A and B are shown apart, each in its own frame.
Chain A
C-alpha cells in the first residue's frame, strides 16, 4: 500500500501531538501494516481516506485506534539480561542499605508496555523475599497505550512472550497455564499498579522514586522532548535514586540533570547541582 507524503505527515503529527513520539523514517515502513486492521474494521479503502476521516473528526474513537496501532509495544521479560541482573544485584542492594531506616522502596516503570518489565522486577524481588521482608515496595507502571496497560493488568501472556527472556524455572514457579497461554500468579499481579500516562502530560504519580526504569522509551522522542522528559524524571527521582535506561541508550548530550552512576554501568544518578534547563520552547512543559 502506497502512503502519500501528506498522509504520512498528518499521521506523524497526530502521533507526536498525542504521545510526544516521533515517527522516524525507520518506523514509517510499518505504518500501512499497522493501519490495515483499523481500515478493514471500518470499511475504509485507503490510508488517504483514513486520514481524511481523521481530519474530518466524525469518528471520535478513530484517532485513539490509530494512535494505539502506531505505538511500538515491543518488550520482554528481563530485557537486557546483564543490566537487569545488575539492577537486581548491586543496584538494589545499595538502595536496600540506604533505605534500611524507612524500609520503603518506590519504583516507576516508564513505558511499561504489556507489563513484562515491572513484573520481572516484582518476580526478582519476590525471589529475594528474605531481604525485603517487612518492606513496603511500591511498583508503579505507566504507558501511553491503553490497550497495552489493559493487557498488563491481566498478566496473561502467549507462549512466545513467556519464552522471551523468562527462565523456564521462573515460568513454572510464577505462572499458571490457561489454555494455550500463561497467567502470572495473582500475588505478583497485585504488586504492580498500572496507569495510562503520556510523558507529554503532567506527572500523575506524586512523590520521589528510588528507581526509575525508562528503557527504550527516549529513542522514540525528538531530542528536545528527550531533554524535557529527562528533566521531568529528574524531578520525580529521589536525590540518591537510580535511573535505568535501555542498553543502547545514553544521556550524553541529552541532559545536564543526570550523570552516569560510577558504581553501575548503564545506570544514572542526579547531578548534585543540575544546571537550569530551558523548557519554554517545548509545548506542555512550561
Chain B
C-alpha cells in the first residue's frame, strides 16, 4: 500500500484529502505545517506528499527548500495543493521542487490524475 502525507493547517482539508486518498487505497498520515512534515519525512518518508502552500511555522515552499538538504532515505513525490493559481506561483513551486501542482478545491478525479502523473497511483 502506498503512503501519502497530507500537510495542511486546515483540519477540514486534511479530512477531505484523507477520505479521497483512503478510497484510492493509500495509507494516510497527516501534518499541520512544514516543520511537522519534515520530521515525518525524516522519520519514515512517504511515497507522496500532498502539500499546502500557506501554513504557519513553515510554509509549503520553505518545506520544499528544506527537503533538498534534509537527510532522508528516499525523496517523496510532492503535489503542491493551493489556492494560488498564477503562473508566477506555479513557477516558484516547480523551481522549489514540486513535482505537480493542484488548485483547491479538488475532487477525487483530479487528485487521482495528479497521483498518476507523479507515478504513485
Contact = CB atoms under 8 A, between A and B. Distances in A.
A265 interface: no
Nearest to A175: B87
Contact of B102 (A82, A163, A169): A163
B113 A172 contact: no
B87 A163 contact: no
Interface string B73-102: 000000000000111001100100010111
B91 to A, nearest CB: 7
Interface in A157-212: 159-160, 163-165, 167-169, 171-172, 177
A229 to B, nearest CB: 26
Contacts of A168: 90, 94, 98, 100-101
B40 to A, nearest CB: 24
Contact of A169 (B87, B94, B109): B94
Given A168-B94, A172-B90, A172-B91, A163 B103 contact: yes
B110 interface: yes
Given A159-B85, A172-B87, A172-B90, A76 B103 contact: no
Contacts of A160: 103, 110
Contacts of A82: 116
Contact of A159 (B94, B103, B116, B117): B103
B85 A164 contact: no
B113 A164 contact: yes
A81 interface: yes
A159 B110 CA distance: 11
Contacts, number: 38
Nearest to A74: B109
Nearest to A176: B87
Given A81-B117, A159-B103, A164 B109 contact: yes
A81 B90 CA distance: 22
A32 to B, nearest CB: 23
B52 to A, nearest CB: 16
Contacts of A78: 113
Given A172-B87, A177-B87, A165 B113 contact: yes
Nearest to B115: A81
B110 A163 contact: yes
Contacts of B101: 163, 168
Contacts of B85: 159
Given A159-B103, A163-B103, A168-B101, A76 B90 contact: no
Contact of B100 (A159, A167, A177): A167
A35 B52 CA distance: 38
B117 A167 contact: yes
B113 A76 contact: yes
Nearest to B109: A164
Nearest to A82: B116
Nearest to B99: A168
B13 to A, nearest CB: 16
A78 B98 CA distance: 20
A112 B22 CA distance: 32
Contacts of A167: 100, 117
Nearest to B118: A167
Given A165-B113, A172-B91, 7 more contacts: A160-B110, A163-B101, A163-B103, A163-B114, A168-B98, A172-B94, A177-B86
Q: Return the 7 tightest CB-CB contacts between A and B, nearest first.
A: A81-B116, A168-B101, A165-B113, A167-B117, A164-B110, A159-B103, A159-B85
